[in-house]
Structure 1
Amino acid sequence: MDYKAASFHNSASVDITQSVEEDPLIDGPLISQDALHPAIHRDFRKLPTHCVAGCLSFLNVVYVCLSLALCVTCELLEGRVEQCEAVLHGLGSLTPVLLGKVGLWVCVCGYECLVQRHHNGARGRGYLQFYRETRAAKRLPLLIHSTGNACVLLLLSLADVLKALQKHLPLYLLLGVLCLELLLSLTSLLIYTVKVMRFNMEKPSPDINQEEQSNSYFSNSSPTHTETGFRDGSSLEEVVEKQADLIEYLKQHNTQLSKRILFLTAHPSRA
């Protein structure tokens, strides 16, 4: 019995030794912990979208002011129609207003694409909660201006009927739509700008790091308060959405770490 046990122990030790020697990862160069630090902890990147929102707000204010001045001067004031037509080279006073409305809508579409690109980058860096909090705020300007375009088109289609009721009624309604659109757009852009500026000032760590810190704090202070999963009163759709975003972020994070490990394994001098 002793002989069999000794032989089994020797064979097991030989198998373990052979498996260790045949493992290429153990024979390869060891990667220090500091080498992966830049891939795990990245510098915080500020979002420049609040500057774009400020420029869009300024452009919107300028457009509405010029439209009001043009409509009041060329339509409501008597004796200025011929002068306006001479300056506008025969065009009606509403033509520049409508062309400007289309140009402003194109600028809002460009703003939406640019903001979405930066927010997708923030989402990929792990700021999932901020992405969800600002999702509605960044879409509101495009929704407001698209609704305003629909109202302007409706007014143009009903212009003859409205003129029968009152001569300048279509113009009054058009200016009212532009002013209401400006008010709602500035409010949404202001709310979005405040959220982005607060995010840039706080410079938070990714959500997964915050959850790990909070979980470690509660586990050290009061383990009975730590709970995970679905709770009564919480939205199941929100929980599923958070889990999907977190899984997507972790997959991208693992891909980056794998590329970093392969690079350091191929270039041990930079480890």
Structure 2
Amino acid sequence: MACRMDSAGRRPVIHNSATEITQSIEDDPLVDGPLISPDALDAEIKSEFHKLPTSWVALLLLFIHVIFVCLSVVLAVYCSILEDVIHQCHRYLQDFHSQTVIIFAKVSLWLLFVAFERFVQYQHKRVRGRGYLHFYRSTRSMKRLPLLVHSAGNATVMLVLSTQLSLPSAGHMYTYLLLGVLGLELLFSIPCLLAYTVKVVNFNKEKPSPDVCQEERMHAYSGPGSIIDTETGFREGSNLDEVVEKQADLIEYLKQHNSLLSKRILSLTSQQIRD
């Protein structure tokens, strides 16, 4: 890099082999203004790993679900099936039937799963924005399954209640069907929530770098003749929609990262000119 004075003798002109940068100290507001702290930019570019705070919420929701099913079974047995103690339940339930109380509680539980799905979706979008595209796509279906299970359970409960209104003389069969639906929901929800929790806990424990950084590291440590499959292009047997979506996510992350790098370069250039 060489530096010389122009004909007016007022400003330096810096020549580089690749690019030529001409800055006026008197006219350029970037040079005259306060410099951006390199440490602050480096902190943004190399940000700390942020843990995903959804594992404990999933475990709490699973615990609430187990408690709900246990209480529903106890309520149905003592207030609907056992004839000897039904009159005692009427003192506490007043005019409500045990099935009505269970359904009200089930709707409340379903609303909790809706709130959980929205919270998880928001947190996973933030994870995608930080460059963890593979983790985002690998948990896309996993975080939706519990809500889908409960929505299907709600539809089944509505079918049972509709049948009960048409054929009310079936004894305790509808109570058993209702408890069976609740048991199936719990049976399917436990593996979904546990698998999601394990996935998030492992992600927080590993503290991986963004996908782009991992691919760069793989290229750096690979030999000159090795071929690394980054799965960013279309290949035979690939899903075109997934490839396009991954490229869109990758472009969005790189735009944010390049913006921070541009600010860092401008700050270093301004510092160099002043020095």
2-side partners of 1:184 and 1:227: how far apart? 36
Between the two proteins, the alignment pairs up a number of residues equal to 252
* The one of 194, 200, 204 aligned to 1:196: 200
Partner of 1:60: 65
- Asked if 1:254 is matched to 2:252, the reply is no
Structure 2 equivalent of residue 7 of structure 1: none
In structure 2, how many angstroms separate the alpha carbons of the residues matched to 1:200 and 1:21? 46
Deviation at 1:224, TM superposition (A): 4.6
Task: Say whether residues 1:115 and 2:120 are aligned partners.
Answer: yes
> Deviation at 1:261?
7.5
The residue that corresponds to 2:221 in the other structure is 217
1:172 is aligned, of 152, 173, 176, to 176
Q: Which 10-residue stretch deviates more, 172-181 or 256-265?
A: 256-265
Deviations 1:16-38 (A, max 9, x none): 94972547389558778655321
How do residues 100-179 of structure 1 correspond to structure 2 at under 5 angstroms? 100-164=105-169, 166-179=170-183
Aligned to 1:4: none
Query: Conserved in 2, the CA contact under 8 Å of 1:127 and 1:207?
Result: yes
Q: Quick one: percent identity of the two aligned structures? A: 53
CA contact (8 A) 1:85 1:93 kept: no
Is 1:244 the counterpart of 2:248? The answer is yes
Whether the 8 Å CA contact 2:129–2:253 is kept in 1: the answer is yes
2:185 pairs with 1:181: yes
Identify the residue that residue 17 of structure 2 maps to in structure 1: none
8 Å contact from structure 2 (residues 80, 86) kept in 1? yes
2:176 partner letter: Y
1:85 to 90, 112, 120: 90
Judged with a 3 Å threshold, the aligned counterparts in structure 2 of structure 1 residues 265 and 82 are, in CA distance, closer, same or farther, namely: farther
Give 3-state SS (helix, strand or coil) of 1:137's partner.
coil
The letter for the 1-side match of 2:186 is L
Higher-helix-fraction structure: 1
List alignment gaps of at least 5 residues for structure 2: 1-5, 15-20
Choose the corresponding residue for 2:78, options 73, 78, 82: 73
Shift in alpha-carbon separation, 1:160–1:27, aligned structure 2, 3 A: closer
**For residues 256 and 26 of structure 1, what CA distance do their matches in structure 2 show?**
16
RMSD: 3.1
Bigger mean CA deviation after superposition, 155-164 or 88-97? 155-164
Over 3 Å counting, the alpha-carbon distance change for 1:40 and 1:70 in structure 2 is same
Q: In structure 1, what is the Cα distance between the partners aligned to 2:135 and 2:98? A: 44
Note the C-alpha offset of 1:238: 1.8
TM-score by length of 1: 0.82
The alpha-carbon distance between structure 1 residues 80 and 48, as it changes in their structure 2 partners (threshold 3 A), is: same
Q: Is the 8 A contact 1:119 1:131 kept in 2?
A: yes
Distance in 2 (CA, whole Å) between partners of 1:232 and 1:66 is 53
Aligned-partner SS, 1:90: coil
Aligned twin of 2:18: none
- The two structures have a TM-score, normalised by structure 2, of 0.81
- Does residue 41 of structure 1 match 2:43? no
Query: In the alignment, is the contact (CA less than 8 A) between 2:133 and 2:250 conserved in 1?
Result: yes
Give yes or no for the alignment of 1:95 onto 2:97: no
